[in-house]
A = this chain, B = another copy of it.
Amino acid sequence: MEVTRRDLIRGSATILAVGSLNLSSSAREKDPLPSWNDGPAKQAILDFVKTTTDKSNPKFVPPDERVAEFDQDGTLWVEHPLYTQIIYCLDRVGPLVREKPELKESEPFKTVLSGDREAIAQLSARELFEILLATQSGMTVEEFSADVKSWLATAKDPRWKRPYTDLTYLPMQEVLKYFRANGYKNFIATGGSTGFVRASSQQDYGIPSEQVAGTSQAFTYGYNKGGQPILTREPKLVLNNLGAGKIENFWLMYGRRPYAAFGNSSSDDQQILEYVKAGTGARLSVVLMHDDATREYAYGPAHGLPDTKVGTLSQAMYDQAKAQGWTVISMKNDWKQIFTWEK
C-alpha cells in the first residue's frame, strides 16, 4: 500500500516535470530536498512552494508576502533530552557564582553546583526559570552574544561528542534553502531566549537576527564607566514566546500571518500551526514527529512519554493535524539522512 502510494507520487512528479517545458533541464532534474524520502510530507512541501510561486495559480503569493515561520528546538535542531539553552545556562552558573558568591549556598544554584545530575533533572520549571534569568542578565547585549558564541564554539553534546550547532537537521536546512530560493523570508519563532538564538542564527540557518523572535527579557539603556551608551540585559520577562504567545508576539514583531509554519510535537507550536493553516489561500502547517529512537530520539509531547497510540505525537495534536490538513513529518520514515556529518 505504501509502495503504491509512493509510486503514484513519483508518477505525478514525472508528469509535472515533463509538463513544465519552460523549466531548464537542470531545474527539472535537481531535487531541492535530497535528504527526504519521497512521500506525502515531502510532496506537500514541494506542492506548497510550487503553488504559491506560480503566477498562473489562483493561490499565487506575491514575493513581498512570502513569510515562513520555523520553530527552533526540536524542529531545526535536537532538543532532547534538554534544550541546548538550558545546558548553556547550567554551565553559566559556575561563572555567575564566582561573580556573586552569595548565591553559592542558595537554591537552585546550590543544586546545580553539586553536579548531581539526578537532582538537577528534578529542578522545577520555576527554579529553571530563575536560573535562566540569573545567568542571562547583568551584561551588555554584546557581551551576552559574545559569550553564547564562545560557548557554542567549545561545548559538546554528550551523545554525539559534537558541537551543538552540528545537531541541526539536514532535511530542514534543505527546506530553509528551498524556501529562500523561492523568495520566502524565513523567520524563527522560538520559546528560547531571542538573544541566545540570534547569536548563531545567521551562521546556522542563514536567518538574520531581525528575523528571530523568541522569549525576551528587558533591556535597559544606560552608560558605562567611560560614558558610552549601553544596553544591559535585565532579569525581567517582556515577551513570553510559548504557546499562544508565539503567534501573538509574531504579530507584534512582524505584523504578518505566515504562509507556512514548521513546529514539532511540543504543544507550544499548536496555536501558531493552527493560526497559519486557518489563513486564506495556500497555507502549510507542518509538525515534526520525533519517532526515530535509533538515529535521534523517540519522545512525545512535553518530553514526557507518548500519551497515545499514534506514538510520539499527542492524540489531540494528531487529530487536529488530520482534521485541518496539517502535514506530519515522521523523522524515521521521511528523512533519509538526519545530520550533515552522518553516513
- Complex Cα distance, B249 from A221, in Å, reads 10
Q: Are B248 and A231 in contact (CB under 8 A)?
A: yes
Q: Are B210 and A252 in contact (CB under 8 A)?
A: no
Q: Are A210 and B253 in contact (CB under 8 A)?
A: yes
Nearest CB of chain B from residue A317's CB, rounded to whole Å: 15
Nearest CB of chain B from residue A152's CB, rounded to whole Å: 16
Q: Beta-carbon contacts of A203-244 to B below 8 Å, as 1s and 0s?
A: 000001111100010111100000011010000001100001
Partner of A210 from the list B198, B229, B256, B278 (CB cut-off 8 Å) is B256
Q: Are B248 and A220 in contact (CB under 8 A)?
A: yes
Q: Give the residues in chain B near A238, CB-CB below 8 Å.
A: 238-239, 252
Partner of A248 from the list B185, B221, B254 (CB cut-off 8 Å) is B221
Q: Are B212 and A255 in contact (CB under 8 A)?
A: yes
Nearest CB of chain B from residue A145's CB, rounded to whole Å: 8
Q: Give the residues in chain B near A219, CB-CB below 8 Å.
A: 248, 251-252
List the B residue with the shortest CB-CB distance to A276.
Answer: B229
- Complex Cα distance, B197 from A171, in Å, reads 38
A220, A252, A278 — most chain B CB neighbours (10 Å):
A252
Partner of A253 from the list B185, B247, B251, B253 (CB cut-off 8 Å) is B253
Q: Give the residues in chain B near A220, CB-CB below 8 Å.
A: 244, 248
Q: Give the residues in chain B near A67, CB-CB below 8 Å.
A: 210
List the B residue with the shortest CB-CB distance to A244.
Answer: B221
Nearest CB of chain B from residue A275's CB, rounded to whole Å: 5
Partner of A255 from the list B194, B221, B229, B244 (CB cut-off 8 Å) is B194
- Complex Cα distance, B185 from A313, in Å, reads 40
Partner of A195 from the list B194, B244, B248, B255 (CB cut-off 8 Å) is B255
Q: Are B64 and A202 in contact (CB under 8 A)?
A: yes
List the B residue with the shortest CB-CB distance to A67.
Answer: B210
- Complex Cα distance, B197 from A255, in Å, reads 11
List the B residue with the shortest CB-CB distance to A233.
Answer: B251
Q: Are B194 and A229 in contact (CB under 8 A)?
A: no
Is A141 in the interface zone, CB < 8 Å from B? yes
- Residues in A48-94 with C-beta less than 8 Å from chain B: 64, 67
5 interchain pairs, CB-CB under 8 A: A209-B255, A210-B256, A229-B275, A231-B247, A231-B275
Report which A residues bind B (CB closer than 8 A).
64, 67, 141, 185, 187, 194-195, 198, 202, 208-212, 216, 218-221, 228-229, 231, 238-239, 244, 247-248, 251-256, 271, 274-275, 278
